[in-house]
Amino acid sequence: MKKIFTILLLAGIFKQSFAQSSKPASTANPPALTLIKEADIKKDIFELAGDAFRGRRAGTLDEMRSAVWVAQKAMEAGLKPAGDDGTYFQFYNIKRTITGGNGTFSINNKNLQLWKQVWPTQPVETHLNGAVMWLNSMADTTKDLTGKIVAVKIVAPAPLPVSWMSLWGLRYTSLAVRQQTLALRRKGVAAIILVADQQTEASLGFVGHNYQEGLYQLEGTPASNVKPIPVIVTLGSFANDFQQANATAKADFRVEVSMYPSANVVAKAAGTDADLKNEYVLFSGHHDHDGVGVPVDRDSIWNGADDNASVTVGMLAIARAWSAKPGKRSALFVWHGAEERGLLGSRWYAAHPTVKKEDIVAVLNGDMIGRNAPDSAALLGTTSHKNSTQLVDMAMKANQQQTHFKVDFSWDDAKHPENWYFRSDHLPYAQAGIPAIFFTTLLHADYHTPKDEPSRIDIAKLTKMAKWMYATGWLVSQTPQKPMLEKTP
């Protein structure tokens, strides 16, 4: 009798255990939240954003090394390859157009040193040799300027960029150059020489490096219908040379075009539901940054720890959790390349997805999730740029239940001067008609400087942000109906 009782008891325990294990996972409580660990995230970010990866600039071997590193970590996390040809990679070509390094420029037969005293602002075949007409101001346009080489001092743009905006010197210079170029083009000038004012000159280390790096585009990007003209910036100390009687300028700049490979890393975790596993929750981030650039305090490596190693390693943590406890829908992880060169990786994947586009039910993108106040975060795609109320509601429900951030929605306002919504990898997906939101902890003083290093990351906050993204993805995965699309930005 005792033996029979024991058998029945064990059978009951087995039945209860089986019932519990086969019971559908709770929609509200993501089952593997504890697998997203600070120790793992800290180890990964100090490795990826360390100096050994040299800032992971797109179009360099450093970016390729980072892509291989991410793919290796994705495999170790249990994800399966979802890139091209059964691999973890989706390669595409970047067309880079630069001004050749052997270009020359002189004023009154005085040679100026390229990239130190004179900067072509864009790659344009330039062969100038003629008189220079000095303009005392932008209002000094009463004379016929058609076909002339004109020189004028850079004037402050109107209106000025908001004082607290990121990369203020770059914005000041770029806006001033654009405004003056447009005004002078309308006068039919042949070439424009802009003499730096004090603010521009203080920014030329950073701005000039961008001019030197040239233009990055996806292969096959249509050429502009607007024929470019030479626009050249010089140091302010040459103003007197351009104002001399019978001043002349001579320039010979040639354009060089190269193709560089870049790579998205694409991996997946299969869902558990027979029908829903054919649909995907897409976690999105970028693994590249700015590479080796202008030194700041003798540091020339722009590590990009927050931007965007933070999300890269956060997604790896989510991958480990998802692989251990899959959702009903499948999870797709896309670590994009070349985001810093113009969202090139996400533009490529949105146009060439490795799964059916209509099977991507939502995009959860992150960019910079490891800095600022511990209890603050922001969510974009929520107000002015919202394309799915249901997706936003899921994100807010996940925050309410799990992470309890004070969420800032103001950066999603169409009038916000940073235009932050348009500067990360969710955008091409939203434009392609896929529900998308953007998790971030916003900008800080180290943004796009060599000081964006792992030691400055709030690991606890980064871990918490990864949990928020994971919990949101879990809700999307478990909800029978897809988040409804309302509009395309």
pLDDT at residue 4 above 50?
A: no
pLDDT at residue 300 above 80?
A: yes
Residue-wise pLDDT tens digits, 341-382: 999 999 999 999 999 999 999 999 999 999 999 999 999 999
Contacts of residue 444, Cβ cutoff 8 Å, sequence gap at least 6: 306, 371, 372
Tokens of 484: 């409804």
pLDDT at residue 453 above 70?
A: yes
pLDDT at 244: 96
Mean pLDDT of 448-472: 98
CA distance 73 to 51: 19
Residue-wise pLDDT tens digits, 180-194: 999 999 999 999 999
- b/e map of 347-366 (b: 16 or more CB within 10 Å)? bbbbeebbbeeeebbbbbbb
Mean pLDDT of 307-334: 98
Least confident of 11-25, 90-104, 156-170, 294-308: 11-25
Least confident of 159-168, 219-228, 235-244, 424-433: 219-228
Percent of the chain with pLDDT strictly greater than 70 = 94
pLDDT at residue 482 above 50?
A: yes
> Kindly report the CA angle at 290 between 287 and 291, in degrees rounded to 5?
95
The mean pLDDT value of the chain amounts to 93
Which pLDDT band, with edges at 50, 70 and 90, does 12 fall under?
A: very low
Contacts of residue 116, Cβ cutoff 8 Å, sequence gap at least 6: none
pLDDT at 27: 56
Mean pLDDT of 142-171: 94
pLDDT at residue 7 above 80?
A: no
Which pLDDT band, with edges at 50, 70 and 90, does 286 fall under?
A: very high
CA distances, 222 to each of 61, 329, 345 (Å): 27, 37, 17
Which pLDDT band, with edges at 50, 70 and 90, does 489 fall under?
A: confident
> Kindly report the CA angle at 378 between 371 and 41, in degrees rounded to 5?
40
Which pLDDT band, with edges at 50, 70 and 90, does 223 fall under?
A: confident
Which pLDDT band, with edges at 50, 70 and 90, does 117 fall under?
A: very high
CA distance 128 to 284: 46
pLDDT at residue 2 above 60?
A: no
pLDDT at 140: 76
Which pLDDT band, with edges at 50, 70 and 90, does 142 fall under?
A: low
The closest of 306, 344, 427 to 90, measured between CA atoms, is 344
CA distance 310 to 62: 18
Which pLDDT band, with edges at 50, 70 and 90, does 28 fall under?
A: low
pLDDT at 57: 97
pLDDT at 29: 84
Residue-wise pLDDT tens digits, 64-115: 999 999 999 999 999 999 999 999 999 999 999 999 999 999 999 999 999 9
